[in-house]
Structure 1
């Protein structure tokens, strides 16, 4: 059954199909000469595959392992190129910021590692070890001395807890921030819809129609967005957003409404918290740690807006930008579900422990280098 499937299957490789047909013809009692005539193969080829099938069965129809062409490069040469890729170009005197495969190939030849090597060979070697020197990731030290305390307060609010007590039904958590410089770029030629074997095409040249700021407040547990556009960011535009939310129910009569914000100039420090509480006594401002805007859930909503509304940017003017953003809010609120936030205080403690261990190991390595 398997032999017939190989001989007549549409997904079988041509060479396996022909070899299987040879064996089927032989099973019907046909001679090698007749099989050769009917299949168009050489007599010796028919004899070979009949013999291999008789010796090993179906596995005998596969190609045998071949030694192949001798290797052009030694394992030592490959290791030296990989070691070079793991060094910063500045350390080797090469005036580039990051290695590319062509740069590494040229540098390997210049250093005498090999007389010639192609960029594709270098790329294949690096892919085997998942080394990608042409990529980079940024990082930053934790500089906020109260990082753990501030981050834990935000994470507790996401879990509907404040100072060790569960939030009541009439207490709400709002995540707020500003998306700056949303531009109106009018493309000089109309955008073409996608078609058969063709992606959507957006003209590269455009005319500028100005920019605005998009402010949004996101109810974390009820997945509701409140947004507004302003000419620019600042204390006054931010308070307009707060007033827009706090002047309507259920927030106006709520016991407490927690406002999670980052450390932007519009709502930075205790002064901003006091200003908020003075206007709305039931509002409590909670700041994320410095350089930790990723803890603010409204940033997730902004990423959705960027992908689905702003990019690719093709608006005739700012009025169209405002209408599109407002229409998207209505559409989003109609079907939104709360984000599945899974990062907890336990994950935070584990992360900080890893960072502390990494810092300690780095200090030990530095001390060992100095001592040497």
Structure 2
């Protein structure tokens, strides 16, 4: 922060402008500019302070960071503060402080997936361009299927929430069959066209396309964003599309379901209805899903896409460069 204050001053900004730009107090900007003018770089260092001297030296800090990043314990996949402290002869709190200072979190692991689609860039630009600048006299629909939705019931009654006690349900359950939901999310309005089937084959997908064709006004073109599932590309589907030229399919890149906005809607359906719901038959499950869709369509909320294709591709390119340079 002290360096940024000096650099901003070098760009000609005054104390007030620097404070506003960096989100600090004007007095802080004034203080460190004055210190730099008086003592140059030495003026940006902390002055000696009274109190207990450091008990953990730079070499020990370096050892903690190196061990954390480059090694693992014999009996685990990652270090804990206790195991690393015992290994290096430090206190647990010292290791914890060093980890916090350098943003190290060995206990955490995040998942990632990079698409290997050779047309990744072109498909991202196509779909994002459709989101940000949809064509006139056309409807843009985000389409996908949520397959194998299970009708589940707990093996014992769910205990209701009480003050100080959350709702409780048994960890085990009984299965009563599955259902598959096809959904088309209207980009502009947030309205959803849904269709439930026992299976999710090309036959069911073609029926769903026919349902979309019946519900979308005939004077509008239909742009469909969907993934690369094999059921979307069968000869029967291709013939149907030739017979209905107002339909245009826009495929997302492989392993890029995050690009299809209907996935966000599926997430809401799961967390608000399916995850904690109980159903003793597929018919009961389907009835519940249809009711949820009807309620959604009574007050639809469209999802607004904000990032441009370049804003998406640039960090991906940086990440690819980073992992390629890591030597792994």
TM-score, structure 1 length as denominator? 0.67
CA displacement at 1:96 relative to structure 2: 3.3
Distance 1:197 1:75, change over 3 A: farther
2:215 paired residue among 248, 253, 276: 248
Structure 2 match to 1:82:
65
1:200 paired residue among 157, 164, 167: 167
1:96 paired residue among 72, 76, 83: 76
What CA distance in whole angstroms lies between the structure 2 residues aligned with 1:357 and 1:82?
23
CA displacement at 1:88 relative to structure 2: 4.9
Structure 2 match to 1:326:
290
Structure 2 match to 1:53:
none
CA displacement at 1:312 relative to structure 2: 2.0
- Which structure carries more relative contact order (alpha carbon 8 Å, separation 6+)? 2
Structure 2 match to 1:168:
136
Distance 1:260 1:122, change over 3 A: same
Structure 1 match to 2:158:
191
What CA distance in whole angstroms lies between the structure 1 residues aligned with 2:232 and 2:59?
58
Distance 1:197 1:147, change over 3 A: same
1:211 paired residue among 178, 184, 195: 178
CA displacement at 1:340 relative to structure 2: 1.7
Distance 1:274 1:229, change over 3 A: same
Q: Once superposed, which parts of structure 1, at least 4 consecutive aligned residues long, lie more than 6 Å away?
A: none
CA displacement at 1:172 relative to structure 2: 0.8
The structure with more radius of gyration: 1
1:351 paired residue among 311, 315, 320: 315
Superposition map of 1:1-372 within 5 A: 67=51, 74=57, 76-89=59-72, 94=74, 96-106=76-86, 108=87, 113-114=88-89, 117-118=91-92, 122-161=95-134, 167-169=135-137, 171-250=138-217, 253-268=218-233, 274-351=238-315, 353-355=317-319, 357-358=321-322, 362-363=324-325, 366=327
The answer (yes or no) to whether the contact 1:276–1:285 under 8 Å persists in 2 is no
The answer (yes or no) to whether the contact 1:234–1:265 under 8 Å persists in 2 is no
What residue ranges of structure 2 are gaps of 5+ in the alignment?
Answer: 1-48
Structure 1 residues 220-268: Cα deviation after superposition (integer angstroms, max 9, x where no partner): 1121111122222221121222122111242xx1342011111122214
CA displacement at 1:77 relative to structure 2: 3.2
The answer (yes or no) to whether the contact 2:132–2:305 under 8 Å persists in 1 is no
Give SS of 1:217's match.
strand
What CA distance in whole angstroms lies between the structure 1 residues aligned with 2:258 and 2:71?
29
The answer (yes or no) to whether the contact 1:214–1:228 under 8 Å persists in 2 is yes
Tell me the matched-pair count.
Answer: 280
CA displacement at 1:355 relative to structure 2: 4.5
What residue ranges of structure 1 are gaps of 5+ in the alignment?
Answer: 1-64, 162-166
Give SS of 2:141's match.
strand
Structure 2 match to 1:18:
none
What CA distance in whole angstroms lies between the structure 1 residues aligned with 2:236 and 2:305?
27
What CA distance in whole angstroms lies between the structure 2 residues aligned with 1:122 and 1:218?
49
